[in-house]
Copies of this chain bind each other. A is one copy, B any other.
C-alpha cells in the first residue's frame, strides 16, 4: 500500500483493502481510461484477491461509483476566510490544481468521458458534484449574509460558475488551467453575482 500523504486512512483490513483497490482503479483510469478498467487487473495491481474485488464491487461501474463516493468524502473542506472573494478564489485554485495535476486531471477526464456512455457512472458523477457544490455553497451564503452579494443569490449556481470555465477549457480544448485562470474564474463569478446574474425568484 502506498504511504503517500492522504492515502493512508484509519480502519481495519476492510478499509485498507478498499483504499488499495480504489487507488489501483484510479491509477488505471488516469493511465488508460475507462475502457481499459478491468476488475481482475485492478485486483492484481492492488494485491488483493480477485474474488474479494468481484464480491465487493461486482462490476466496473460499481467500482467507479465507489471511487467517486470516496473522492467526494476525501476532498478538501471549503475555505472560510471571512471574504467571499477569497473563498471563491480558494475554491477556484483547488479545482485548478486538481485539473492541472497529471493523475487527477486524467482521472476526471476519464470519469467524465465514461459518464457520457454509462448511466450508472453518470449518476455517481452527478452525486459527486452535488456533494462538492453543497460543501462550498455556504461560502456564498455567508457572503450574502455579510452583504457582499445580493439577497436571493443562488449559492450553488455561483459555485458551479467558478468551476465551469476551468472544466470547459480542459474538456473542449485540452488546456489544463493555470493559476491565473483560477483567479479570473473566481473574479468573473463574483462580478456576475454582484451584478445579480445569479439572483433567483
Contact = CB atoms under 8 A, between A and B. Distances in A.
A195 B194 contact: yes
A195 to B, nearest CB: 3
Given A116-B110, A116-B112, A194-B195, A188 B171 contact: no
Contact of A191 (B112, B126, B191): B191
A134 to B, nearest CB: 13
A133 to B, nearest CB: 9
Given A126-B174, A165-B161, A35 B33 contact: no
Contacts of A40: none
A169 interface: yes
A169 B157 CA distance: 10
Contact of A165 (B33, B164, B195): B164
Interface residues of A, number: 38
Contacts of A171: 112, 115-116, 167, 171
A45 interface: no
A4 to B, nearest CB: 25
A2 interface: no
A39 interface: no
A15 interface: no
A168 B185 CA distance: 13
A136 interface: no
Given A129-B173, A188-B192, A160 B167 contact: no
Interface of A: 33, 35, 109-110, 112-117, 122, 125-126, 129-130, 157, 160-161, 163-165, 167-169, 171-174, 184, 187-189, 191-192, 194-195, 197-198
20 contacts: A35-B117, A110-B117, A112-B171, A113-B114, A113-B117, A122-B174, A125-B172, A125-B173, A126-B172, A129-B172, A160-B169, A163-B168, A164-B167, A164-B168, A167-B167, A167-B171, A168-B168, A184-B197, A187-B197, A188-B192
